[in-house]
Amino acid sequence: MSDSIWDDPNVTSYILGELPQDEAEVFEKRMQEDPKLAEVVAEARSVTEQLQVMYSNEENPTLETARRENITRNNPITSVTLERKTTWRVPLVLLATAAAFLLLVGGPLLMQREEGRIATDSIVPRQSARAPMQESVDAPQPPMAASTSSGITPDSPYSVQGFPNRSAADARFIEESEKSPGTLNESDMDFDMAESAGDSSDIYKGLAMGSGNPADKKIANELQRKSALQKVPLESAKTAGSQQAEITFDKATTDVPAPSSSRSRAEMPVQEENSLVPTPPETKDGSADRDRFNNITENQYKRVTESPLSTFSIDVDTASYSKVREYLLRQRRLPPVDAVRIEELVNYFDYEYLPPQDDAEIPFAATAEIISCPWNNRHRLARIALKGKEMQTQERPLSNLVFLLDTSGSMNARNKLPLVKQGMNMLLSQLGENDRVAVVVYAGSAGLVLDSTPATNTREIENALTNLAAGGSTNGGQGIKLAYQIARDNFIVGGVNRVILCTDGDFNVGTTGTGSLVRMVEKEAAGNIFLSVLGFGMGNHNDNMLEQISGRGNGNYAFIDTEKEAQKVLVNQVNGTLVTIAKDVKLQIEFNPRMVDSYRLIGYENRVLAKEDFNDDKKDAGEIGAGHAVTALYELIPAGIKNGIVPPRVNKLKYQSPNELTDAANRDESFTLKLRYKEPEGNTSKLHEFPVVDNETKFQDADHDARFAAAVANFGMLLRGSAYSGDWNFQDVIDVAKDAKGEDMSGLRAEFVEMVEAASKMQ
């Protein structure tokens, strides 16, 4: 009976969204008329959903580090130099575990090796306890042979090569810990075992070939810097009985055993229940740490004579701060360097900047002042502060919100989907009867869970939320299209029209690719539907992409790790989160060479713009929400102060002479601040500018907000291992922060002090 219905391939095409619009409509009509067809569709849908879950639960390998490096350097034959500078550290626990593993496994492992046992072409049955050993036997064992004569910080516990069993896990660990100091869960470990030796052998090959590469030096310096910053007595690992924990790569001298045929480890099975395998520490939510952060290269000092203009976009994101807090206070480890975006740390806090007058023409107030730099007493510190117009809840324009919720399997964790729901409920409590809310989910296939509904219709909304469950893989591409569609359908002219993406990270864009996603987000932002991103949970967080799309989508990006953070973002600052009062806000500072020799913008690395972009209204920049405060800090070297940290001058030009000073340079202005912004729905920017004079204010006489912001900025530099943190250490940060805490109604500043204390214990 239903068999003949099953003959129709349109059933599957319909479920997979492959039918053209008109055919799909016809099909739906047929379904309404024919309950049997509807039943078949339901059954087929159930099958595809199960399949999706199955595929999404596949733990598939990523490319081996060495191969990936090859690709990124776009060169098929080159050697591997491992020049990425970030975090070569591995958390203590890992090393300790590794050392313990050596004790347990190292012996038998070596014996096997002596027996010349090689796992050629062996296909080891699943769950065999031998699997990882054969793995390691097969792989080169450089730590044993490696010399410690390298200049690369032989005693740095953070150099990753401390792994006793170099074969399996560590190549991957390098990869992982580059991204963030890695913790892997068991299944990941299994994977590494399976994937294994190809990594290391390639790496070693590369290393052998790559000696003499200038990148080596760079690594050495980097590691030295790191170890100076974060020297930890690794007693536990040492006593666990291995010098392994200290052995480092020495590219010049490492004797690299030739890797054996790759086939031999090609199909290493996954093994699951082997007590000999070290269980790496799990992250809080039990997921592997695959957070991805973009590399940040710190801003350098620039000479005013050579680069008189400094241009950047504002950034009100705060995600980096919550992320760092999650690392320090909950996971109890130092965050990866690139997770620390200093401007986001500074901008996390409420500052008591005065908002603009009610009748002010500009929707935000801008001020700047110059105080002495606390970590370098010959330098000055310029603080630029913007404060968005505040808005009472009753003044807030009507909102048309579409929540785009990631309900893929990975959201199934305490600090993810449940927190999303909680956060949404909090936000709903802030909305009124004329605000509208819709919910779109994506997981495998996208779907509309709740069509746009008045926000006061709490029962319906709560029902929809309660029935959400995590499962399936992620197809964000379709989801986001649908979300924008709903937002457009319910567009409120002059209101807040916003898609709010809640995800734990990997935003799988389907077949479209990141580029077209970004273009779509930009296009919709141009049509006044903005995008905000709320990140949840650790472990698979594609920080880079989320920051990018929220930036292009004229939205903000917050990372919600706790109920308290949800409260901050969705209740206390709900107007700032929802209502944009000025968009594409750019700053350009022109320094006066008579007063300032050099300057350095602290943070905002990925927000720096070319000077030409300032007047180019097509260039996107950051937004300010209602009541948002934005702070930017510059460290200034006054004219006439000698210093060793500014890059050397370039040679005099042969065909041109340097600009002459204008009359204005004779004024005592240190710089002129120029601001450009657009009205939330405008397309042309407005310019606002004012000069700033250094009144010789001492740091201790500055207001507590300025001092606190300076402490936060320096903390960021310390976490990043910056060369510019001057003579401060964590204790100085603590002292100043405590002193400058002010009223601290929210308790956030006290929490900051707690974080610094935690970090200082981890150094």
Partner 1 sequence: MTESGATWPAETINALVDRYERPLLAYAGRMLGGDWQGAQDAVQETFLRLCREDPVKIESRVAAWLFSVCRTRVIDMQRTNHSTPFDSSQIAVADESPDVSAAVIDAEDRDQLHGLVEKLTNRQQEVLRLRLQAGLSYREIAEVTGLTIGNVGFHLHAAVRNLRDSLAVS
By CB under 8 A, which span of 217-225, 460-468, 505-513, 525-533 interacts with partner 1? 505-513
Contact 630, 385 (CB under 8 A): yes
Among 21, 60, 656, 657, binds partner 1 (CB under 8 A): 60
Among 235, 267, 306, 395, binds partner 1 (CB under 8 A): 267
Among 392, 511, 651, 657, binds partner 1 (CB under 8 A): 511
Site for partner 1 in 374-413 (CB under 8 A): 409, 412
**43 vs 433, which CB is nearer to partner 1?**
43
Among 123, 469, 526, 610, binds partner 1 (CB under 8 A): 123
Q: Per-residue string for binding with partner 1, 306-335, x by CB under 8 A? A: ------------------------------
Task: For residue 268, state whether it binds partner 1 (rule: CB under 8 A).
Answer: yes
Establish how many alpha carbons lie within 13 A of residue 402's alpha carbon, considering only the half-sphere containing its beta carbon.
29
User: Cα dist. 370→13, 386, 480, 690, 760 in Å?
Assistant: 64, 15, 44, 14, 29
**184 vs 487, which CB is nearer to partner 1?**
184
**533 vs 712, which CB is nearer to partner 1?**
533
Q: How many residues of this chain interact with partner 1, rule: CB under 8 A?
A: 78
**419 vs 509, which CB is nearer to partner 1?**
509
**17 vs 107, which CB is nearer to partner 1?**
17
Among 270, 329, 365, 646, binds partner 1 (CB under 8 A): 270
State how far the Cα of 411 lies from the Cα of 469, in Å rounded to an integer.
9
Q: Which of 629, 586, 624 is nearest to 353 (CA)?
A: 629
Q: Per-residue string for binding with partner 1, 423-462, x by CB under 8 A? A: ---------------------x------------------
Among 88, 101, 191, 351, binds partner 1 (CB under 8 A): 191
Among 26, 29, 34, 68, binds partner 1 (CB under 8 A): 68
**266 vs 661, which CB is nearer to partner 1?**
266
State how far the Cα of 544 lies from the Cα of 727, in Å rounded to an integer.
32
**25 vs 121, which CB is nearer to partner 1?**
121
Quickly tell me which residue has 């000698």 as its tokens.
642
Query: Residue 631: helix, strand or coil by DSSP?
Result: strand
Q: Which helix (H) or strand (E) holds 532?
A: strand 530-536
Residue 242: both structure tokens together = 């291995």
Measured from the Cβ of residue 292, the count of other Cβ atoms closer than 10 Å reads 18
Dihedral angle at the C-alpha atoms of 7, 8, 11, 14, nearest 10 degrees?
160
Pairing of strands 580-591, 669-678: antiparallel
Task: For residue 265, state whether it binds partner 1 (rule: CB under 8 A).
Answer: yes
CA 326 to chain centre: 13
User: Cα dist. 180→291, 528, 540, 541 in Å?
Assistant: 7, 36, 11, 11
State how far the Cα of 174 lies from the Cα of 161, in Å rounded to an integer.
9
Q: Per-residue string for binding with partner 1, 125-144, x by CB under 8 A? A: xx------------------
Measured from the Cβ of residue 7, the count of other Cβ atoms closer than 10 Å reads 8
Q: Per-residue string for binding with partner 1, 5-34, x by CB under 8 A? A: -x-xxxxxx--x-x----------------
By CB under 8 A, which span of 122-130, 205-213, 428-436, 732-740 interacts with partner 1? 122-130
User: Cα dist. 711→225, 598, 694, 708, 753 in Å?
Assistant: 22, 22, 21, 5, 10
Task: For residue 667, state whether it binds partner 1 (rule: CB under 8 A).
Answer: no
Task: For residue 53, state whether it binds partner 1 (rule: CB under 8 A).
Answer: yes
State how far the Cα of 189 lies from the Cα of 623, in Å rounded to an integer.
42
State how far the Cα of 182 lies from the Cα of 178, in Å rounded to an integer.
8
Site for partner 1 in 195-234 (CB under 8 A): 195, 198
Task: For residue 187, state whether it binds partner 1 (rule: CB under 8 A).
Answer: yes
Among 190, 326, 635, 669, binds partner 1 (CB under 8 A): 190
**191 vs 321, which CB is nearer to partner 1?**
191
By CB under 8 A, which span of 107-115, 215-223, 350-358, 504-512 interacts with partner 1? 504-512
**267 vs 701, which CB is nearer to partner 1?**
267
Site for partner 1 in 544-603 (CB under 8 A): 545
Q: Per-residue string for binding with partner 1, 288-307, x by CB under 8 A? A: ----x---------------
By CB under 8 A, which span of 41-49, 102-110, 357-365, 615-623 interacts with partner 1? 41-49
Q: What is the CA radius of gyration of the chain?
A: 28
**Min CB(18)–partner 1 separation in Å:** 5
211: phi then psi, degrees, rounded to nearest 5: -65, 145
State how far the Cα of 51 lies from the Cα of 49, in Å rounded to an integer.
5
User: Cα dist. 107→100, 112, 130, 182 in Å?
Assistant: 12, 9, 14, 26
Among 26, 47, 661, 750, binds partner 1 (CB under 8 A): 47
By CB under 8 A, which span of 81-89, 387-395, 510-518, 713-721 interacts with partner 1? 510-518
**Min CB(374)–partner 1 separation in Å:** 36
Among 21, 22, 35, 72, binds partner 1 (CB under 8 A): 72
State how far the Cα of 503 lies from the Cα of 541, in Å rounded to an integer.
9
Task: For residue 536, state whether it binds partner 1 (rule: CB under 8 A).
Answer: no
**Min CB(278)–partner 1 separation in Å:** 14
Q: Which of 96, 60, 90 is nearest to 178 (CA)?
A: 90
Positive or negative CA dihedral for 724, 730, 732, 734?
Answer: positive
DSSP state of 614: G
State how far the Cα of 184 lies from the Cα of 182, in Å rounded to an integer.
6
Establish how many alpha carbons lie within 13 A of residue 696's alpha carbon, considering only the half-sphere containing its beta carbon.
1
Among 513, 527, 647, 658, binds partner 1 (CB under 8 A): 513
DSSP state of 395: G
Name, in order, each residue with C-beta under 8 angstroms of 518's C-beta and a sequence gap of 6 or more. Answer: 548, 549, 552
Task: For residue 76, state whether it binds partner 1 (rule: CB under 8 A).
Answer: yes
Measured from the Cβ of residue 437, the count of other Cβ atoms closer than 10 Å reads 27
**Min CB(522)–partner 1 separation in Å:** 16
Task: For residue 55, state whether it binds partner 1 (rule: CB under 8 A).
Answer: yes
Query: Residue 727: helix, strand or coil by DSSP?
Result: coil
State how far the Cα of 300 lies from the Cα of 307, in Å rounded to an integer.
12
**29 vs 68, which CB is nearer to partner 1?**
68
By CB under 8 A, which span of 182-190, 235-243, 306-314, 689-697 interacts with partner 1? 182-190
Among 266, 610, 664, 723, binds partner 1 (CB under 8 A): 266
